[in-house]
Amino acid sequence: AFEVELRRSGRTLTVPEGSSVLAAVRAELPDTAYSCEQGFCGTCQQRVLEGEVDHRDELLTEAERGDSMLICVSRARGDRLVLDM
Ligand code: FES
């Protein structure tokens, strides 16, 4: 498990093994945009402010990976991520 802080919303969530960042975020922010949930459409892309991402999609370029992630499939490498949402 790892933590995700939603900085603009002022909330911190726990993402368990076997569950996605998207699922945890939607529990707090039900209007969060998503579509494919498989890492190929890009709808769920969010800006990352802190933390190292374990990118599991095939869509984002290396440049995009510098400051964003697809939260339906990608996870944290460490124990914490901070998202701009
Ligand atoms: Fe399609 Fe995440 S919902 S890439």
Spacing, Cα 60 to ligand 1 middle (Å): 11
Whether ligand 1 lies within 6 angstroms of the CB of 39 is answered as: yes
How do residues 4-29 score in pLDDT, each as one tens digit? 999 999 999 999 999 999 999 999 99
Does residue 70 have its Cβ closer than 6 Å to ligand 1? yes
CB of 40 closer than 8 Å to CB of 58? yes
ipTM (interface predicted TM): 0.99
Q: Is the pTM of this model over 0.90?
A: yes
DSSP 31: T
End-to-end Cα, the chain, rounded Å: 20
Q: For residue 32, give both structure tokens.
A: 């969060």
Report CA(35)–ligand 1 centroid distance (Å). 5
